[in-house]
Amino acid sequence: MPDPSEISQITTTDGVTHDIKDATARTTKVNKSGDTMTGQLVAQNNVAYSTAQVRNIILSTSEPTSAEGANGDIWIVYKE
């Protein structure tokens, strides 16, 4: 396995090559005892509603359409 600091490009399964500015940050895992994430965390969709897990939380001024939201998402509607 190459040293992550030496990686400058990746090729995805669809054959597209992408430049990587900071490969080390992309391969470093978040420490369970505390850390700061620098990107978005998107949870998987599932119907294990009684299982403690990360959930996607969406704040919106309108209710979700049938194309928005997914099983397990928490959708909060607020008034401006």
Q: What is the pLDDT of residues 21-70, one digit of tens each?
A: 654 555 667 788 888 888 888 888 888 889 999 899 999 999 999 889 88
d(CA 16, CA 6): 19
Q: Per-residue DSSP letters for 20-75?
A: -S-HHHHHPPPPTT----SS---PPP---TTS-----EEEESS---TTS--TT-EE
Residues 73 and 47 in one domain: yes
Residues 26 and 56 in one domain: no
Residues 21 and 55 in one domain: no
DSSP state of 15: S
Split into its structural domains, the chain has a count of: 2
pLDDT of residue 40: 83
Range of the domain at 71: 39-80
Residues 44 and 80 in one domain: yes
| Higher per-residue confidence, 11 vs 25 | 11
Residues 49 and 15 in one domain: no
The mean per-residue pLDDT over the stretch 69-76 comes to 91
